[in-house]
Structure 1
Amino acid sequence: MPTLTFQLNDVPDGGMRTFDLGDALVLVTRDGDAVHAMNGRCPHAGANLGEGVRCGDRVVCPWHHATFHAASGALTEPPALQGLAAYTVTRDGAQCTVDPAVPLERPAPAPQGRPEEHTVIVGGGPAGFMAAQTLRQEGYAGRVTLLTAEPHAPYDRTALSKGYLSGKVQEADLPLGGPDWARTHGVDLRAGTRVTAIDRASGRVTVSGTGTFTADRVLVSTGSQPVRPDRPGTALDGVFTLRTLEDARALRDAARGADLVIVGGSFIGLEAASSLVQTAASVTVVAQEDEIMSRAVTPAVGRAVRRLHEEHGVTFRLGAELDRLDGDGQAVTGVTLRSGETLPAGVVLLGTGVRPVTDLLGDAADEKGAVHPDALLRLDPDTLAAGDIASAPTVLGEMRVEHWRVALQHGMVAAYTLLGRAGGADGESMGGEGTDVRVPFFWTQQYGKSLRYVGHAESLHDTACWGDPDAYDFMEFTFDGDRTVVASAMGRDRALAAFAELLRMGRAPTPTEIRAGEFDLVERLTA
């Protein structure tokens, strides 16, 4: 692998740049005479980090907003699961040389906590996984037991409706952290273990058939489960929800050559439609709303994405309400709408929402099933709640967010809380900040095009758009009074990453500024 040689002024002061060596992409950051080099590709999905943004000590990936420390490459925000390999920079005057074939060895973290401590994590989704991983990466010396009802180690659930259904991602590629993650991280993984009770006062966690665990601290991250609408026929064979690997495997096999009807016009159903349209005989999406994705984007954006689906053969019934699922006594044969129209269906996917699984937390849950931890995710000093079940503070106020990256963020926050380091380990570790400085973010990919979404809004009554949704090149903003609280975008990754950082710092442009016309959000960030 060749070495990299460059001049100090080739990298802007306070900025960053990537250099392509063919076999390696090297990211270089500079602050005055201090120069640092690291792997230039995001370990999450391989994006060129030089096409993202730098905000102080943060380097933000343009695709999915994983964030790394600008000097060390340490991970500060998921969805990446580890930091960047760092390289030695040698200086001869203004000339700098980097050898990417020799990464720096990171010192082992100092032991944290006592070996006799026991942390039990209930739930093997992204929050539980990230908490366990962060505890070990930060030197936690106690026992970590992860209990999950699924018969698998934690895996990438985001791939199920995208690459897995389409056949581009195989089951062997799904495990988070690789196939041997639990052993290499010293995690006692108990897959296929159903927790039946948690006694928060004593720390006892009861599991079905195998007794109890006694914990010093318990993290509950039990996620969500799909909601089946109260309509006749939803229990027929051939009717699916999509949450687990088993769900995805069965749906993929059943849809091959079948007439598939998807009930629900939000992201999970649309991703499944784009993944299965090549193998199903037909795909029809039924939605009550007048346009798809109507809770997140305006009709103009929804129409543009719908047109993309229609160009690939998906048909839609909008403003249509499900009346019943028809069958032959055992298997589904059709979907009847309130209008009286019946659609032939050999397979039905119900993308009709989820509800948080908080039965184990009893009266801590509100009427909607959510629990309300503080910014450090504590329900009480020894019980934490994270992920889909937690309505927690964010930069935009308290909310429950069913997004993959948010759940991973919660896992990091929970780990630092368990370590007693809520302020972060040092200048290179920001994961210990609370949820109240976190920005909600999610993405969807359909037919190779990505829609990315930053922030949260309860309604879309006040919006503005830069660019052209029909060209898949736009940023759409949502306002709440005199605040800009959401930006969604296609084809403007760097600008969206800049907006996310501005929102995080309380510097988002105002509605008046945005309505006045387009300007460079990256320049605004670095001004």
Structure 2
Amino acid sequence: MVDAHRTFVIVGGGLAAAKAAETLRAEGFTGRVILIGDERDHPYERPPLSKGYLAGNEERASVFVQDAAWYAKHEIELHLGQSVTALDRAGHCVHLGDGSSVRYDKLLLATGAEPRRLDIPGTDLAGVHHLRRLAHADRLRQVLTSLGRDNGHIVIAGAGWIGLEVAAAARTYGAEVTVVEAESTPLHRVIGPELGQLFTDLHSEHGVRFHFGARLTEIVGQDGVVLAARTDDGEEHPAHDVLAAIGAAPRVSLAESAGLAVAGAAEGGGIVVDVGLRTSDPDVFAAGDVVSAPSPWGAAAGGRIRVEHWENALEGGPAAARAMLGKEVAYDRVPYFFSDQYDLGLEYSGWAPPGSYDEVVVRGDAGKREFIAFWLGEGRVLAGMNVNVWDVTDDIQRLIRSGAVVDKDALADPGTPLGSIGG
């Protein structure tokens, strides 16, 4: 039975929020746990939205962290489809969109991020999409099915992870795909130009068309329906649908209006937290995509980083929950994410955007798309990406954590065990 002497409130309906609630109960917290989410669906995981569920390989029910009965069994109070409009730190309460208020002893902000919008004419047309929420994926899955059946065409603005994963799903359905990207290669801001061509080749082999060095300037329509997408170099691409996949912005307005510290744009934005995921208010914590956390690893060593990936929510939610319970927490995970595109699977650990590294060392056969790439700075491994090579993440992350200068010849040699490198 719940003891109402303490109330912990979680704002957010994603993986970080659900894992935090799960951890509070697992750690023996007997007070009230209230989870407030602005979507009507129960908390779910986001990777399937651009991968298995979108591609038609997974059922809708598979995306949920827990089923509805689990929350009732563990006496976690759900306020779904409900927005939080204000945070009153002095009064220790949050105000909801329906005019009610909920008091808290400890508060966790897991508000996530929102897709960036195209600021161009035509975005109000039917057939312009974003992909962040389950409802978006539901709609886009129907769209891709229809496009594949009718030989329809989708234009994707952005060749980041979401853009490429949706391109792969669209081609699986048989839709025609054009990707418009401002940089010269896909994934430029994550992996740099050295390996971007690999993804250009992969998608081109599957029939995706790329238009690099350009941005969308207008979506053209008739009778409210998309007909084409125009770019700043004068090109026009036929389209029945357009997807904006140009990144996401942390949802910090609630924290900002309450006077909590928020990181600047140079650090990726986000709510500023310490290593224990505490905000500038000792009774307010944050986790997941919205967090700007200290980073001791890779190119962000000594600075801050905001990570928008599944593993950060999976591990950050429980860490924040333990910190809310007064336990010592040092959240220092090496950033990690994964992607699946056609028959290519990869895992990436660390953080090494262009300009932060000196060179890229490849171990294996990049031509066959079976290799590990390492981004080095001053001889130290800042990040590593294994492509169709498995069970090496622990070794890659060990090299990143060690900060040791490595033997580059050994690093590139598949015959030298990774575990023996770096001391």
Tell me the secondary structure at the aligned position of residue 52 of structure 2.
helix
1:394 is aligned, of 295, 313, 326, to 295
Q: Cα distance, 1:179 vs. partner?
A: 4.2
Largest Rg, 1 or 2: 1
CA distance in 1, matches of 2:381, 2:398: 13
- Looking at structure 2, the residues matched to 448 and 154 of structure 1 have their Cα atoms a distance apart, in angstroms, of 29
Deviating more after overlay: 164-173 vs 187-196: 164-173
Q: Which of 355, 358, 364 is the aligned partner of 2:249?
A: 355
- Are the structure 2 counterparts of residues 516 and 226 from structure 1 closer, same or farther at C-alpha, using a change threshold of 3 Å? closer
Contact conserved, 2:364 with 2:412, CA < 8 A, in 1? no
Cα distance in structure 2, aligned partners of 1:254 and 1:353? 21
Higher relative contact order (CA 8 A, sep 6+): 2
Give the corresponding residue for 2:318.
412
Q: 2:126 maps to what in 1?
A: 237
CA distance in 1, matches of 2:63, 2:176: 28
Does 1:477 find its partner at 2:366?
no
Matched, 1:248 2:154: no
1:491 positional shift: 2.5
- Partner Cα distance (1:354, 1:508) in 2: 34
Deviation at 1:523, TM superposition (A): 3.8
SS class of match (1:163): coil
Letter of the aligned partner of 2:127 in structure 1? G
Contact 1:146 1:189 in 2 (8 A): yes
How many aligned positions are there?
A: 403
Q: Which amino acid aligns with 2:248?
A: V
- Give the deviation of 1:232 after TM superposition: 1.5
RMSD: 2.1
Q: What is the match of residue 141 of structure 1?
A: 30
Paired position in structure 2 for 1:468: 365
For the residues of structure 1 that align with 2:58 and 2:354, how far apart are their CA atoms?
35
Change (3 A) 1:511 1:376: farther
Q: How far has the Cα of 1:115 moved from its partner?
A: 4.9
Distance 1:515 1:415 in 2: 38
Report the Cα distance in structure 2 between the residues aligned to 1:472 and 1:499, rounded to whole angstroms: 18
2:45 touches 2:310 (CA, 8 Å); kept in 1?
no
- Give the one of 478, 487, 493 matched to 2:384: 487
Q: 1:127 aligns with which of 5, 13, 16?
A: 16
Does structure 2 retain, via aligned residues, the 8 Å contact 1:263–1:352?
yes
Structure 2: stretches of 5+ with no match in the other structure: none
Q: Give 1:198 shift.
A: 0.7
- Structure 1 residues 469 and 188, CA gap change in structure 2 (3 angstroms): same
Measure how far apart 1:318 and its partner are. Answer: 1.6
Of the candidates 228, 236, 240, which is equivalent to residue 334 of structure 1? 228
The residue type equivalent to 2:323 in the other structure is T
Separation in 2, partners of 1:130, 1:141: 16
Contact 1:265-1:292 within 8 A present in 2 as well:
yes
1:389 deviates by: 1.3
Q: Is the 8 A contact 1:195 1:208 kept in 2?
A: yes
Correspondence list, 1:256-295, <5 A:
256-257=146-147, 258-295=152-189
Do the aligned partners of 1:482 and 1:510 also contact (CA within 8 Å) in 2?
Answer: yes
Length-normalised TM-score, structure 1: 0.73
> Within the alignment, does 1:510 sit opposite 2:406 as a pair?
yes
Cα displacement string for residues 380-438 of structure 1 (whole angstroms, at most 9, x for unaligned residues): 2210111111111233232111111112221111011011122xxxxxxxxxx421x21
Q: List 4+ stretches of structure 1 deviating above 6 A.
A: none
Instruction: Answer whether contact 1:122 1:146 (CA < 8 A) is retained.
Output: yes
Alpha-carbon distance in 2 for matches of 1:173, 1:367: 36
Alpha-carbon separation, structure 1, partners of 2:3 and 2:421: 46
Secondary structure of the residue that 1:471 maps to in structure 2? coil
Deviation at 1:273, TM superposition (A): 0.9
CA deviation map 1:345-396 (0-9, x unaligned): 0000000111000111124224434221111011122101111111112332
User: TM-score normalized by structure 2?
Assistant: 0.90
Could you tell me whether the CA contact under 8 Å between 1:262 and 1:284 is conserved in 2? yes
